[in-house]
Structure 1
Amino acid sequence: MGLGLPAIHRANEFKYAKDVPIEALLDAKSYKKLRKGVYDEFYGRSWLLYHYLTLSGKRPRQLINYQVALANGASELDSAKTAFGDLRALDAELDAYLAQRRMRYVPIAGEKLKVGTISVRKMREAEAAIMPVILESKRGVNSEMAKALLPRAQAVAASFPNDPFVLAALAEAEHDAGNFAEAAKIADKALAANPALVNAHVQKIFALSRLARDAQDPDSAWRLTRKAVTALNKVEVDHPIPLIYYYISLKAPGKEVTDVAAHGLERALQLAPYDKSVRWQLVQQFMDEKKYAVAYRTLMPLANDPHNQSDDNPAVALLAQIKGKWEQEAKGAADAPAT
């Protein structure tokens, strides 16, 4: 196995695509001004820059310094100039690096790779029958798609009425179609057959939390959700869903968020860093706690999302707001009289 092998598949991109200046490579605003619907070498050039800073040995620690400057609130361009110095010089070095006949990489011998036991089994008949429904559900469905998928799930469940794997999938289909009470009921049936079935626990939590939002007795309804959360947490301690929904079960009805719930939400983001909604929730929690520096760093991936660089990205405006509060807090601390 080799880490950092040359990206040969990007050779034509390097040769024929429109050049990207180093400033546009390091600063989202500069790149946005430059790009006007044309294909360019942004991804290839980004790979080259990362490879150069990581494996060439020419600029030790500069990438880390750049990341630290960003995390401490400096702009992208200022962070780059602080860490790398003359950006024109860096750009020229990249051109020379690309022209080399050889590039360093990190080889890892096969005998050093410790692969655990891999077991494969044939799916049971019930599992095979419901799998197409599961694949569509997991991919994501809108309201119209969910209503079309539900009868298919129900048809499979009619053939395998007591199979917990099928029942958990049916609970998910019922939930997606907006039948939350039915979803919770079916999830319970699945758990009665297999108390360790994670997806059945997850679907029960999802369904109960939706019911709790409109319940006449929200306190009781959210207590049921927390009970379901506890049950899944006992089955799989490092599953993010119980951590997320324990926090929601307190936040949604206006209860005081405990330290356990707040720390659980932090852990959930560690387990599922790709979940944008959890990141948003955690940023808001940090702001409530007036932890502006950590809120800023937590929000940065959303504000700098390369696939959402539109002017109406709400993370950009919120990041600026947090930075203002952070700077104001730092100024207040600096102006405070010594004791």
Structure 2
Amino acid sequence: MRVYGGGFLLNEFNQKRAPQVDGLRMRSTLIKHASLQAALQPWVQMECFQLSRGKSLGRLDSIDLDSKKVVRETQNAGVQKLGATPANLCTVSYSSFDPALRFADHDAGTADTIFFMPEKTDFDVYVPAGAQTTYVSLDQDEFLRQARILNPSVWDTLQGGVTVLRSGQKALLKDTVETCFMVAGGTAGSCPAFDMSGLRRLLHQAILHIATTTQAAAIEVPHAARVRARRICRQAHAFAEERWSLHDPPTIVELCTAAGVSERTLQYAFRTHFGLSPMTYLRLLRLNRVRDILVDASPGTTSVTAIAMDHGFLHLGRFARDYKRLFGQSPSATLGR
């Protein structure tokens, strides 16, 4: 798992900083490529891959409230996010409703769905083009201590992994987050002039209200078929990564063998989780790998052809066509930036 952050990516931020409001730190950034989307969130171990067409992935807005981070991502192109939450960091998140969205073993749920993801949780998120996702990261020890006082029947027995909460309070959380962005961005108008501690309290109370109103019956158990589909996709992904490191792209037979399933089951798993065939998905991942290298490379010392062939693209005309279709520019244009 590659951990992004710092270096050349952080020098590429095409961002506008809002006026400082008593210590508030807001950033709004055009996401030029998937690696940058990961680098913008260094508090989480994450890797991103672009899976649909688009010259840019979208925009990421974030507010740093010290122990809390508020992040809103608007996707112009589909993206997969793979990673793990660190110790003592949990997130509460929601998204615009899109039936193609996948959050670990869950889909977008309903218009009221809120997701809770605890510390040390592996995640696999697919966000389609046109969708928007928002999350708040929290100090888990502090949050769970208070949530268990307010609603022990739910939070004392919470299991690991991503949990779906349906407390009917998504609108409250969304309105509170939008208020935070309006204040931090200096567009609050008649809204109260909160300082950073005031916004932190406002956000914390909204999230605790969700914890209070969540009912035990509202916690959804992931559907077995979706859980299995995600597991198969992760196994195939890991095997493909290992083979690519040896410059030996896997065949469909080898992917089925590694995942221990038939071709039909493998196809079903990828269609269920991503809406793509296995080979299309893996080809998109290889294109993302090539772009990562070209973005960071020097034109004088790097050959597009060599990098493409090193990643299993032997038909260079088709490679160049697919690359431009996905990223909105030619490989040589990426290298020559």
TM superposition score category, shorter chain reference: under 0.3
Between structures 1 and 2, the one with greater strand share: 2
Between structures 1 and 2, the one with greater helix share: 1
Which structure's relative contact order is higher, taking Cα pairs within 8 Å and 6+ residues apart?
A: 2
Q: TM-score, normalised by structure 1?
A: 0.25
Q: TM-score, normalised by structure 2?
A: 0.25
